[in-house]
Amino acid sequence: GMFGIILNTLYWWVRPIVKWVLRRTTRLCELQRICYGEYKGTLRTSSVEFSLQHSRTPEIQKCVKYIDSKCEERTLSPDLIYYAVFAIVRIKQINTKAHK
């Protein structure tokens, strides 16, 4: 009902602020916090998916849509996955020497 709409709206306004504060205080992006905070498996994978799908970064949005289309076509290649990971690491400014 109305309470759900208000709660959902509040969540989408507060989420970027919380992410910004956490990025500044932990020096980790949301994807890194997920990978360090969740055990490998379904929960981690779905959290990473959620984070990427709800990114406000245009490059990441474009990348996710392209990968989704390749999955639907069943033409996703290892090279494309490597490129996508490399692009996200660059966009999120993840130091791959310190954070493998």
pLDDT, tens only, 23-50: 999 999 999 999 999 999 999 999 999 9
pTM: 0.77
Question: How do residues 44-91 score in pLDDT, each as one tens digit?
Answer: 999 999 999 999 899 999 999 999 999 999 999 999 999 999 999 999
Task: Indicate the residue type of 29.
Answer: C
Strand, helix or coil for residue 1: coil
49's tokens:
């998916």
Q: How far apart are CA 91 and CA 68, in angstroms?
A: 19
Q: pLDDT tens for residues 9-29?
A: 888 889 889 999 999 999 999
- Cβ contact 31:51 at 8 Å: yes
